[in-house]
A and B are shown apart, each in its own frame.
Chain A
């Protein structure tokens, strides 16, 4: 039972991952993260992704704060935030988020405030979608571990 449960959970996880890959939300960098997870760092992926969420939300808040400001002129500062966002997103394999960042950066370099706003919204949207899916994935993983660990500790 539990074994089946674990297997099914794993199948669900894989299906979800496949979907995310297909949608372009994730790319192979995420797979690399998974490969880095081993006995010495068993929760590597979730740790990294959690940090990512934490940082990203901070960045998004900053970006929004900048753009909401009527007298916003400091595109350079925005660029710095974007740069970091881009770097971290690409590091975990969040492809779509990163792509939006690129567009955002382009608009920012042109001092196109409207364009930046649009990009920001798109960014927030993509980010939310990613975050939800990631949570889903982690939940499945946790359940799978529980299912597999309870009865068959040697497995997994």
Chain B
């Protein structure tokens, strides 16, 4: 037996768990010997050592192991410490062994990440099933098969690497994911499940990251749309895209992210509203951005018309179209705070956005708050943020729903650490309005929850308006995209938007614009929808994951810029916009536009005009923007585009880049 499979025990799936490679560590030679023989009896490949240090060395030498079994009490190193290190460095499942079953020890094992805790003497029956931990980890994290599966984070969580959806749409992979999501029809409520299947690409992660530029993403989305999301398979997409140097694996992982993004957006509806609310607070620019992020997600909004309708209907409970919660818009989370954040590392924005999607915390470079942006982060990609925000965002993502909020919450806490945004976020969160974000949302994100300020609760429109400003913007950015959908729920949005802010901070350039836009958008959203749209506009720039790639900063900037600069514009627009906002769609669109702007450097001016006419505006935005608008968003996209564009002008998003946004937006649509 014993498959000589050196790579992954799963390599021989048909024979698995035979040949599973186990490393056993125990200072007691008797136990070690018995364990070794027991494991051999189970047909595993066993390597033993009685020193933890030697064990680490072996693991670091890149010898492929699937599982580690370690004793708790060892003289040279504490078993829990080894457990932690293995989890961090190699991300392998670790089983703890001990002669005692003290509750404290078992608890410690759990908190340190052990997948199981066995008591000596170990029976062979117990050992026969330990392969489940390997499979579970691999299944949950469709990471590279070569490496040990990622931590058992829920698919969502993992920010980055193609892990399940969690990337919160944030283009972990260089923001492409975000973009991807955006492009996909948000409306499609694509479940990430499909992506999960796609995630089977092992080893995808390992390849050198492909930078999913706006153009690339746009192509991708176009290809996917052409094929139909359900039928979109990497091979066909690849063929349609006809890009040199792109491998099927790249496409596959991108597709997965995209799907996750879509899913996020669609589910975040309510959250967005919250986010928006949350964002209402201060930093508005961030928030806005953040919300915009959601906007980014708004790809999921896919098609303004689509999204709004879907999102809105779904989200706005009370018909609060304005609610940014609409997953589309607000879901800044989805929007990718990551996208937004990406730009600069607004990181935090993404975090907030992450709530939706698991934005990559990257956005929040500084902000720890990145969590919120998780969603954003995903888009933002700034790994730095990610680290920070990821933590938060990660949580955020998890909640996905509440993600929006969480972001908000996180924001409020300042956890958002989104660099600059955190301030905003917190500020925004403090805003009563914004913070409407329901703690409930944050619940999901426990971490964020503290935010209370974000209280992006269901966004009842009102709060939305106010909050939306900040939050929505944020949300957008953060990838509220999901929220955008119409979930006026700013709360979500806010959460999202928060993240957005973050990213913006980075780029300050674009972000500021975006921010302004976002803020303005958010203000507009005041009506509920309006806010939403504004958020969309604002926020999602970051979401534009699409843009995020290079633009991450731009997104962030855009967002920021938008928010800041265009704030006025937005205000104006918002007024105009507000009427439209009723549709929430328009808001969303604008939001998207904003996002788009954000991404693709939408020209600020572009945004402005768009924003104005609420619906038209949105549409215009999208259209004028870059064609991006044309995408389905229609209203949302336009909005986003507009938003983004407006901001973009100043910063960067606008021009051309917007294309990216559009890409995300449009393609999403």
Contacts and interface: CB of A to CB of B under 8 A. Distances in A.
A91 B100 contact: no
Contacts of A83: 73, 99-100
Given A32-B121, A36-B37, 11 more contacts: A29-B121, A29-B123, A32-B38, A32-B123, A83-B99, A87-B31, A87-B120, A91-B30, A91-B34, A91-B35, A92-B34
A136 interface: no
A83 B75 CA distance: 12
B33 interface: yes
B42 to A, nearest CB: 11
Given A52-B30, A91-B120, A86 B99 contact: yes
Contacts of B71: 87
Interface residues of A, number: 23
A45 to B, nearest CB: 10
B27 A84 contact: yes
B44 to A, nearest CB: 14
Interface of B: 27-31, 33-35, 37-38, 40-41, 71, 73, 75, 98-100, 120-124
B124 A51 contact: no
B37 A90 contact: no
Interface in A30-51: 32-33, 35-36, 40-41, 44, 47-48, 51
Given A32-B123, A51-B29, A91-B30, A41 B37 contact: yes
A57 to B, nearest CB: 13
Contacts of A47: 33
B397 to A, nearest CB: 41
Nearest to B29: A51
B37 A88 contact: no
A44 to B, nearest CB: 6
A91 B121 CA distance: 5
28 contacts: A29-B121, A29-B123, A32-B121, A32-B123, A32-B124, A35-B41, A36-B34, A44-B37, A48-B33, A51-B29, A55-B28, A55-B30, A80-B75, A83-B73, A84-B27, A86-B100, A87-B30, A87-B71, A87-B98, A87-B120, A88-B30, A90-B99, A90-B120, A90-B121, A91-B31, A91-B34, A91-B122, A92-B34
Nearest to A82: B99
Contact of B30 (A36, A51, A80): A51
Interface string A8-47: 0000000000000000000001001101100011001001
Interface of A: 29, 32-33, 35-36, 40-41, 44, 47-48, 51-52, 55, 80, 83-84, 86-88, 90-93
Given A36-B38, A41-B37, A83-B73, A92 B99 contact: no
A35 B121 CA distance: 15
B38 A48 contact: no
Nearest to A86: B99
Contacts of B75: 80
Pairs of residues from A and B, 5 with the lowest C-beta to C-beta distance, nearest first: A87-B99, A88-B30, A90-B121, A86-B99, A36-B37
Contacts of A41: 37
Contacts of B28: 55, 84, 87-88, 91
A27 B100 CA distance: 18
Given A36-B37, A36-B41, A83-B100, A93 B30 contact: no
Nearest to B99: A87
Contact of A88 (B31, B98, B124): B31
Nearest to B33: A48
A95 B31 CA distance: 15
A84 B33 CA distance: 14
A29 B100 CA distance: 17
A33 B288 CA distance: 66
A82 B271 CA distance: 55
B29 A93 contact: no
A80 B37 contact: no
A93 B121 CA distance: 8
Contacts of A86: 99-100, 120
B29 A55 contact: yes
A31 to B, nearest CB: 11
A131 B595 CA distance: 77
A87 B119 CA distance: 9
Contacts of A51: 29-30, 33
B34 A48 contact: yes
Contacts of A91: 28, 30-31, 34-35, 120-122
A92 B29 CA distance: 12
Given A32-B123, A41-B37, A87-B120, A92 B30 contact: yes
B619 to A, nearest CB: 72
A36 B37 CA distance: 7
A41 B37 CA distance: 9
Nearest to A48: B33
A85 B27 CA distance: 12
A87 B70 CA distance: 13
Nearest to A54: B29
B124 to A, nearest CB: 6
A91 B33 CA distance: 10
B73 A80 contact: yes
B119 to A, nearest CB: 8
A48 B99 contact: no
Nearest to A33: B34
A35 B123 CA distance: 12
A41 B36 CA distance: 12
Nearest to A50: B30
Nearest to A101: B99
Nearest to A49: B30
B108 to A, nearest CB: 15
Contacts of A40: 40
Contacts of A35: 41
B347 to A, nearest CB: 45
Nearest to A47: B33
A148 B124 CA distance: 30
Looking at A80, A90, A91, which has the most chain B CB atoms within 10 Å of its CB? A91
A47 B121 CA distance: 17
A51 B33 CA distance: 9
A48 to B, nearest CB: 6
A89 to B, nearest CB: 9
Looking at A35, A36, A40, which has the most chain B CB atoms within 10 Å of its CB? A36
A87 B121 CA distance: 7
Looking at B29, B35, B40, B71, which has the most chain A CB atoms within 10 Å of its CB? B29
A40 B37 CA distance: 10
B255 to A, nearest CB: 47
Contacts of B73: 80, 83-84
